[in-house]
Chain A
C-alpha cells in the first residue's frame, strides 16, 4: 500500500514538473526524459539479454534522420514520423542482431563500436539526407492542431504550457509506454529467455531457447526505442550535425543504464537523470564560485567530477541507483 502511494506521489510530481521548474531546468528535464526512452531500450538489450552494445548512437541517428526525411522533407505529421523513426531503426536493429550470434562479449562490443564509426562515415557523406558536415534542421512535432515549435503555447483550462512543456509531456508519455512495455516483457517467455541467454547462453540453448530469436528481438526492441528517442531529441534541439552521433553518445547511454541499475524498471530514468543532467547540475551548484583558485573554471572541474562520480558509483554501488534504494531487501533480478 505504501509503495502504491509513493508511486502515485512520484507520478503526480512528474506530471506537475513543468509548472514547478524554470525554463532552463525544464529544458534539462525534457532532455533527460527523451534520453530515458533510449536508455529503456538499451536496458532491455544489455540489462535483460546481456548483450553489450556500444552502437546505440547509430540507432538514435537512424531514427533522427527518418524523422527528418518524413517530417520535414515530406511534411508528414509527427503522429506518423515518430513511430516510423522507431520502425526503421528497429529494422536496422534486427539486421545487426544476427551479428550477435557469431560474436560474443567484448568482440560484439567492438563491432557495435564499428557500427558507430561506419555510421558516422555514411552520415557525413549522405549530404542530401543529413546535410553533410554542416548538419540540418529537424522538424518540430506537429500533430493535427498541436504545434510544438518554439513560441507555440497550449492553453489548457487555466494552464499555460509552452513548447518545452509540450515536449516534456510527449516524451513522458512515450517513456511511460516504453517502460510499461519493458516491465511487461520481463514476465513473458521472451523476457525470461533473454535473462537465460544473459546468465548462461550455452545452457539456455541446450534447454531449447531459440537464441537467434531472442537476440534479434532484443536488438530490435532496443533499436526501436532508440529511434524514437533520437527523432524526438533532434526535433527538440531543432538542429544537429552528423558529429552528434558519436561514441561518446553511446557511452553516455551505457553509463545511464548501468548507473541507474541494469535490468531494473526505474533504472533507465534514474540513470538518464544522472548522466544527462549531472554536468549541468554540477556547474550550477549555487555555492560554487565562478572561478575557482588558479583560474580553473568550475566547468573544467565538473567534467572531472563527472568521470570520478561514475567510477565512485560503480565501485561502491554497482547495482546502480535502484540498488541503492532496494538495499534492505535482496533484489532478485
Chain B
C-alpha cells in the first residue's frame, strides 16, 4: 500500500466534493414540534401520556458531589410531591438525571444525550453550564442553573433562582455597616476562581459606595491546607469584618486558624461557604459539634435559602413534609431547599406555558420571560423574570449561625436590599 498516493487521492476527492459547498444554518424550530388539539407541543412533551420531561445535569460524583446530591434530592422530592398532588393540570413531570461529575466535557456529552427529549433543563455548576450555553441558547432551551454567577442575568434562556454572589456581598456589607454609617475596616478572603471573583466584585462595589477601610483582599487556591498567612494579614490590618467567599472545605480551616490566632472578626460567609457539616458531625442538631463550631457562632451567612424548618418561611412546612415523605434520608440542607425552590420555578414556568397553550421551546421561553414575580414561599427570595433580563433578585436573605436551632441558621433579615446592590452592573 502506498500511503502517499492514497492520501493525495483522498484529499483531491474530498476537496472536489466540498468545493461548491459551505455550511448553512440548521432549521431548529421544526424539530419535534407538533400540535395536539389546541396545545402546541415541543421536545420533551408527550401529549398522549401527558408527561413533560425535565432534564437535570448534576454532579453526583467528583469534587462537587457534596453539593450536587442534595440538589438532585430536592428536585426529585419536589416533582414527586407535585405529581402526587395531580401534577400541573394533570400533566406529570418526569425528571431525567445525568451525572456529569462537574466536568465540562461530560456535561456537553450528557447535554447532547438529553437535549432532544426535554422541555426544560436544570444544570449544575458554572463552568459546566457555560460549556453548554451556546447550545441551549441556540436551541431556546430554558435552563435553570444551580449557580449564582452574575452572568446568568444577561441570557434570556437562563432562569437563575437566586441572587448573584456580588449582590449578596454588597447587601451583606450594607447590613453590616448600616449603610455605611458604621466605620468598619473590612477585608475579604476569597477562592481563586470565578465564584471568588464574583464575591470580590460585590466587595469592591460596596467599598466604593461606603468608603470603608479596606483591610485587604486575600485569596487562596482550592486544595490549600494552610491559611495562616492570609489570616495573619487580615489580622494585622485590623479587620473588623471579613467576607468569606469560599467552599466549606476552606471555611473551616480559615475560621479555625483565625480563632487559634486570637482573631475574631465579624465573619460574613457567602452562601456556598457554609454547610451544616461545619457545625456538627453530620449536620443534624443532636450530633457532636466540630472543633470549629464555636468559632463560627454569630457569623453572618448570606444564605441562598431559608433556614431549615424556619417558621418565618410559609413554604417551609410543605418542604419539610415533602422531604420526610420523598427523601427521608436527607439531612437539613440549604442545597435541598434551593433545589426545591427551583422546582417551584419550573412548575410556574410550565404552568404558564400550558395556560397559553404553547409547550414548544418558544412557548416555554416566552412563558419564562413574562413570568413576572414568582413567590417561592420564603424558601428563597422571590425571583422576577422579565423580557429585559437582569438578575432575578436583588434581595439577600441574611442569617446568623446559631448552633441551637435546626439547620443552625437564624433569620436576621429575610429580604435585605440596598442601593449599592442596585447599582452593580452584572454584565461588567
Interface residue ranges, A against B (CB under 8 Å): 4, 22-24, 26-28, 31, 124, 132-135, 137, 144-157, 162, 164, 166, 176, 180, 184, 237-241, 243-244, 279-280, 283, 290, 295, 297, 299-300, 303
B327 shortest CB reach to chain A, Å:
11
Chain A residue numbers with a CB within 8 Å of B193 are 133-134, 241, 243
Partner of A133, one of B23, B61, B196: B196
Q: Which residues of A contact B131 (CB under 8 A)?
A: 237-240
Q: Is the CB of B22 within 8 A of A145?
A: yes
A23-B112, A238-B134, A295-B329 given; A244·B104 CB < 8 A: yes
Which residues on the A side are within 8 Å of B18 (C-beta)? 146, 156
11 A-B pairs besides A137-B134, A150-B138, A240-B127 with CB distance below 8 A are A4-B1, A23-B115, A146-B22, A150-B135, A154-B21, A154-B22, A154-B23, A164-B112, A237-B105, A239-B104, A303-B101
Q: Assess whether A166 is in contact with B23, with CB atoms less than 8 Å apart.
A: yes
Q: Which residues of A contact B89 (CB under 8 A)?
A: none
Interface size bracket, B side: 35 or more
- The answer to whether B194 has its CB under 8 Å from any CB of chain A is yes
Contact A299 B60 (CB under 8 A): yes
A144 engages B22 (CB within 8 Å): yes
Q: Mark B92-124, 1 if CB is under 8 A from A, else 0.
A: 000001010100111011101111100000000
Which one of A157, A290, A297, A299 has the highest number of Cβ atoms from chain B below 10 Å of its Cβ? A299
CA gap between A223 and B95 in the complex, in Å: 44
Known contacts A145-B23, A153-B24, A239-B127; is-contact A133 B197 (Cβ 8 Å): yes
Q: Say whether A27 contacts B112, CB under 8 Å.
A: yes
- Cα–Cα distance between A133 and B25 once the two chains are bound (Å): 33
Residues of B within 8 A of A162 (CB): 26
Rank and list the top 8 A-B pairs by shortest CB-CB distance, nearest first: A145-B22, A24-B113, A134-B194, A133-B193, A299-B99, A152-B23, A153-B26, A23-B112
B21 to chain A, nearest CB (A): 6
**Any chain A CB within 8 A of the CB of B17?**
yes
Asked if B130 is at the interface (CB within 8 A of a chain A CB), the reply is: yes
Please determine whether A24 and B112 come into contact, CB atoms closer than 8 angstroms: yes
Return the contact of B134 from the options A24, A150, A297, A299 (Cβ within 8 A). Answer: A150
- Quick check: is B318 within 8 A (CB to CB) of the other chain? no
Q: List 7 A-B contacts (CB under 8 A).
A: A22-B113, A23-B116, A24-B114, A137-B134, A237-B105, A241-B127, A295-B329
**Chain B min CB distance to A171 (Å):** 14
Separation of A240 and B134 alpha carbons in the complex (Å)? 13
Is the CB–CB distance between A151 and B26 below 8 Å? yes
B37 within 8 A of A: no
Contacts of A290 in B (CB 8 A): 97
| Contact pattern, B 324-368, Cβ under 8 Å of A = 1, otherwise 0 | 000001000000000000000000000000000000000000000
How far, in whole Å, are A241 and B23 apart by their CA atoms in the complex? 29
Name the residue of chain A whose CB is nearest to the CB of B149.
Answer: A134
- The residue in chain A whose Cβ has the minimal distance to the Cβ of B194 is A134
Smallest Cβ distance from A134 to chain B, in angstroms? Answer: 4
Once the chains are docked, how many angstroms separate the CA of A239 from the CA of B115? 19
Pairwise interchain contact A240-B104, C-beta atoms closer than 8 A: yes
Beta-carbon nearest neighbor of B7 in chain A: A180
Is B192 among interface residues, defined by CB-CB distance under 8 A? yes
B194–A135 CB distance below 8 A: yes
- Closest chain B residue to A4 by CB distance? B1
The answer to whether A152 touches B26 (Cβ under 8 A) is yes
Report yes or no: A297 in contact with B99, Cβ–Cβ below 8 A: yes
B421 to chain A, nearest CB (A): 21
A4 to B1, CA, bound (A): 9
